[in-house]
Amino acid sequence: MEEYILKILRQRYKLDENDKSKDKDFIYLSANEVFEHVTTWEGLINYADTIKKWVNDIYKVDLDNV
The predicted model scores a pTM of: 0.90
Q: For the segment 28-61, what is each residue's pLDDT rounded down to a tens digit?
A: 999 999 999 999 999 999 999 999 999 999 999 9
Alpha-carbon distances of 10 from 4, 15, 38, 46, rounded to whole Å: 10, 5, 11, 19
Cβ(41)–Cβ(16) below 8 Å:
no
Q: What is the pLDDT of residue 66?
A: 83
